[in-house]
Structure 1
Amino acid sequence: MPTHTPPTDVPHPPQDPRKARKIETLEEFDEVALSGSFAGCRVQAVDLTERTFALLVTDTAQAVFLGCPMEPQALAHVRAGGALVFPPIPDLPFDPYRAAPYTPDELYAGLAEDGYPATPDALTHAWAQRTAAEEDVFASMLRSIHDDAVSVALDDRLRGQRVVGVMGGHALRRGTADYEGAARLGRALAREGLTVVTGGGPGAMEAVNLGAYAAPYDDVMLGKALELLARTPSYHPSVGDWAAAAFAVRERWPDGGPSCSLPTWFYGHEPSNPFAAHIGKFFANATREDGLLSRSTSGVVFLPGAAGTVQEVFEAATPNYYLSRGAPVPLVLVDRAHWTEELPVWPLLEALAAGEAMAARIALVDGVDEVPQALERLAGA
């Protein structure tokens, strides 16, 4: 029997029947406007410049408007009526109040015309680096608001889905056998009906998102896509060329399968890969790491990696050990030689799990083709 069991007498806060309603689209705004009151509503990142009349005639007391552009007359009226307004912040390369994950097209807007340095992704990273050096408390607040908004958007996107996280190193180059193996893994998991989530960067992470993107196509498509990508094996020396190769694949096969990724601007040397349909990009790496693992409720797969991947193994193992998130989730380490000889993580993980509930939820496999069966076996343990 496990020596660690969660307490049963911890009080939980009662559910508030007046839970605020989120409004994230003009359609939702118009629906509520018909009721005559926005009391208790949270209107998030909706352009209301064409809704001045509705704002003037509708009760906005106790409403909150987050990053919603509106005409000056409407802004003055809703503030006077008791609403709390957080206006859009001018000259920011990102929206701190956004209500949805990013898309590849959004992060890489302008890539073809002006190059990677002019994209929102690069400009936001530059802003983050500059403001962090300045120790600006206002900028710190904006980063926190943004990351919380993205977290909520991801929860909305992933709710009810069977999510499997796949971790792996960023240095894996396109055109290698290991890159192809990671892509086949992403495809196999997606075809099992699982939602694949990665750390969103290059290397193994990109390969897994690519595989999920290829899942609706026949097997030949992935081979052709790998050939095209191999012509630009790394994001060095040019992130722009690397990303453009991925967009060329997406253009040739436009109806790819969905997956998610959680990259970070903390690591500027790890650009976001364009194969994830929904990208939750964060300023804080700690928020990103915990968010990735906590949302992987159907298992976590660890491909060979270095320090970052080792850290993630034990970040995933800790809640499994203490049962702090309920029943342990399956953890699968891929490549026996890597995890027992090069970086002997498996012996330590196995020793940690001995006598605990998590012991039945960990596995070490030789290759990616064994992963789907391993996850299925561990889930039933």
Structure 2
Amino acid sequence: MADRRIERRPGQLLLRGDMVPPTTYDQRLLDRRGRTDWLHEDPWRVLRIQSEFVEGFGALAELPKAVTVFGSARTPQDHPDYELGVRLGAALVKAGYAVITGGGPGLMEAANRGAYEAGGISVGLGIELPHEQRLNDYINLGIEFRYFFVRKTMFIKYACGFVALPGGFGTLDELFEALTLVQTRKVTSFPVILMGSKFWSPLIDWVRTTLVDTGKLTEEEAGLISLTDDPDEAVRIIIAAERRNNGQ
């Protein structure tokens, strides 16, 4: 049994008795013969997470005002929704906004393409996935992330609005996270717009008839969502919210 009077204070920790390791941090750092298990342990992951935040903040801090656009990665280029995404990206650039997407194919590519071809700033924030997915070709600023929650922070922090084109689980995840942040006032004057009334109307109806009618949401909270098929109207909603935020 170790002598319980033995004490060591590595950093902010206090270790006594059996908890005192046989070597110091410096010894383990400088020992080149050590195992590499530490690469896959939580303390090292914290540093990786920190580095992703630092890299993202550094890359995006000087972006002009921007709008985040989401939508399905599975939408082909010949689909009407793809053309809608291209028009949206172009309209946002013409109004002075950069466009941020998840950087993938489908409707993310469409919004990036519209922004890129309109001569604007087209941002793609990619994510490591089990299946291969590269950043699309219409991005002039791209970052690849390991962690979803870091990437989500960037989508919200550097945007003044959120537009969801038709999409699946990923789009719904980002949509409801944005709505929750607005509902709880973690972000303010942040418009959330759904584009594609045929696709989104059943969801809007469910929110208004089921969530509101059963007291899960208020009418005001249900009204946080705007619905349109017109890219120019989406831009007008974003501009109006920005003006309200600036007290104009």
TM norm structure 1: 0.48
CA offset digits 1:213-233 (Å, max 9, x no partner): 1113xxxxxxxxxxxxxxxxx
1:140 to 26, 45, 54: 45
2:138 to 275, 297, 301: 275
Partner of 2:226: 363
2:178 to 296, 306, 316: 316
Partner of 1:337: 198
Query: Any stretches of 5+ residues in structure 1 without a counterpart?
Result: 1-130, 217-256
Deviation, 1:263, is 1.0
CA spacing shift, 1:294–1:346, aligned 2, 3 Å: farther
Q: Note the aligned Cα RMSD (angstroms).
A: 2.7
Deviation, 1:151, is 2.0
CA offset digits 1:319-377 (Å, max 9, x no partner): 1111123x230111011121123xx1564278436235x84x53111343532223234
Are 2:124 and 2:142, in contact at CA under 8 Å, matched by a contact in 1?
A: yes
User: Quick one: distance in 2 between partners of 1:156 and 1:374?
Assistant: 24
Deviation, 1:206, is 0.9
User: Quick one: distance in 2 between partners of 1:295 and 1:268?
Assistant: 27
**What secondary structure, in the 3-state scheme, does the structure 1 residue paired with 2:236 have?**
helix
**What secondary structure, in the 3-state scheme, does the structure 2 residue paired with 1:196 have?**
strand
User: Quick one: distance in 1 between partners of 2:128 and 2:195?
Assistant: 27
1:171 to 71, 74, 83: 74
CA spacing shift, 1:152–1:301, aligned 2, 3 Å: same
Partner of 2:166: 304
Alignment of 1:43-82 (within 5 A): none
1:348 to 207, 223, 238: 207
CA offset digits 1:43-93 (Å, max 9, x no partner): xxxxxxxxxxxxxxxxxxxxxxxxxxxxxxxxxxxxxxxxxxxxxxxxxxx
Partner of 2:105: 202
CA spacing shift, 1:328–1:143, aligned 2, 3 Å: same
Deviation, 1:274, is 2.5
Are 1:321 and 1:353, in contact at CA under 8 Å, matched by a contact in 2?
A: no
Partner of 1:222: none
Are 1:184 and 1:211, in contact at CA under 8 Å, matched by a contact in 2?
A: yes
Partner of 2:62: 157
Alignment of 1:172-191 (within 5 A): 172-191=75-94
Partner of 2:29: none
Query: Any stretches of 5+ residues in structure 2 without a counterpart?
Result: 1-36
User: Quick one: distance in 1 between partners of 2:234 and 2:132?
Assistant: 29
CA spacing shift, 1:157–1:346, aligned 2, 3 Å: farther
Q: Which amino acid aligns with 1:317?
A: L
Identical aligned pairs, as a percentage? 29
For the pair 1:286 / 2:145, whether they are aligned, the reply is no
TM norm structure 2: 0.71
Alignment of 1:87-126 (within 5 A): none
CA spacing shift, 1:353–1:193, aligned 2, 3 Å: farther
Deviation, 1:137, is 5.1
Deviation, 1:188, is 1.0
Q: Which amino acid aligns with 2:122?
A: S
CA spacing shift, 1:135–1:155, aligned 2, 3 Å: same
CA spacing shift, 1:258–1:379, aligned 2, 3 Å: closer
Deviation, 1:205, is 0.6
User: Quick one: distance in 2 between partners of 1:181 and 1:267?
Assistant: 29
